[in-house]
Structure 1
Amino acid sequence: MPYASIKGVEIHYRIDGAANTDAPWIVFSNSLGADVSMWTPQLAAFASRYRVLRYDTRGHGHSDAPKGSYTIEQLTGDVLGLFDTLSISRAHFCGISMGGLTGVALAARYPDRIDRVVLANTAAKIGSDEVWGPRADKARQGGMASLADAVLPRWFTPAFVEREPLMYAHIRDVFVHTDNEGYASNCDALRIADLRGETHNIRARALVIAGTHDVAATPAQGQELAASIAGARYVEFDASHISNIELPDAFNATVLDFLAEA
């Protein structure tokens, strides 16, 4: 199981993809409460054309969950550390929710490292103190199972949950086994991160994806994000918060088309 040691934190990652070592890189960044497995619906479509790098955000999956509140600077620093460890000079980046916020910061602050950026079901400012403070407290005090029944129904439409019970059960299993302190520390990062004053610095070609039924990162927030990035493209799916799983075919086709545009 591969790890990169980044400033003393072990970050778990996986690489799949084109045998051609000259193929471009694309990095996938998970949402809060998920891990690398959330991108399984993308692997077959992307691995034939790209070198695919997935990683567990600190506090998630098999990555370390160091004590103390995290910051967006640490989350972007972990990605840049992976780039340096793997000798990646430049890559496409696709993040969803928290991973999308990480993508906003990377594209705004490190334009020489990011080629094209896909910002899915996210915003430059996600939630508020009233959301993240109590969420972090509950994770620390009650564990992840105490949050699952309130959080996970917001991720998907009821139709998806009824249609894909095994997939939903897997996602719930990953969520409830996420390190509670790691989850809470990422809530702290989201609570203080406000990148609305930085999105105008993004010069990378950007695709913003929203879900019509998403209440965590609403279509209005997605439209606001796209409008703040010069030349950004906005697409809205008939999905909720985790659109890459709920509508994988539409997600894959849209992102692949975007990456291939001249």
Structure 2
Amino acid sequence: MPHLVLADTAAKIGSPEIWNPRIAVVLNNGIATISDAILSRWVAPGYAATPDFQMWRMMLERTSAQGYADVCAAIRDADYTADLARIRAKTLVVVGNDDASTPPALVRAMAEQIVGAAFVEIADAGHLPCVEQPDRFVALLKQHLA
């Protein structure tokens, strides 16, 4: 049986009312003007004080404005809600409990639409639990894939 891992994602994320202003700001003013707001949605409280956090800030701010806007548009336009019931793979759905980009309730709602999916919240992690809690994330992957 195939395995599937869905981490900090959802079938439908946000709406045009959320994404379109973000796209406009980035294209007109650059990512750095909203990087604090973006990163505050990506990481759990306290992670910003770690040495690794600045690497993530630099990575984000070095992303081209057009590239970031295109990704925002792709997320804005994607809606896989109708496809969830078709998933037959053994599925693990993971989310950081402090994820403000794809909040746990949104991710749980997606998991509940996938037959037999396991849902796990990772404590002390935001949108990047593989970065903030790598040992816990890897342990979940190993357990799921065993």
Partner of 1:243: 129
Partner of 2:76: 191
Post-superposition shift, 1:158? 2.1
Where do 1:1-262 residues align within 5 Å?
115-162=2-49, 164=50, 166-238=51-123, 239-260=125-146
Q: Can you list the C-alpha shifts for 1:98-148, whole angstroms capped at 9, x where unaligned?
A: xxxxxxxxxxxxxxxx93111111110011111111111111111111121
Post-superposition shift, 1:190? 0.9
Q: SS where residue 145 of structure 1 aligns?
A: helix
Q: Can you list the C-alpha shifts for 1:205-227, whole angstroms capped at 9, x where unaligned?
A: 11000122222111111111111
Q: Can you list the C-alpha shifts for 1:142-192, whole angstroms capped at 9, x where unaligned?
A: 111112111101111222222x1x210000001000011011011111111
Q: Which amino acid aligns with 2:102?
A: A
Post-superposition shift, 1:257? 1.1
Q: Provide structure 2 residue ranges, at least 5 long, that are not aligned to the other structure.
A: none
| Identity rate, percent | 39
Cα distance in 2 for partners of 1:179, 1:116 equals 33
Number of corresponding residues? 145
Cα distance in 2 for partners of 1:182, 1:156 equals 21
Post-superposition shift, 1:241? 1.3
Cα distance in 2 for partners of 1:258, 1:169 equals 32
Greater C-alpha Rg: 1
Instruction: Specify which structure has the bigger relative contact order, considering alpha-carbon pairs within 8 angstroms and separated by 6 or more residues.
Output: 2
- Using the size of structure 1 for normalisation, the TM-score is 0.54
RMSD, matched Cα: 1.3
Cα distance in 1 for partners of 2:112, 2:43 equals 26
Q: Provide structure 1 residue ranges, at least 5 long, that are not aligned to the other structure.
A: 1-113
- Runs (4+) of structure 1 moved beyond 2 Å? none
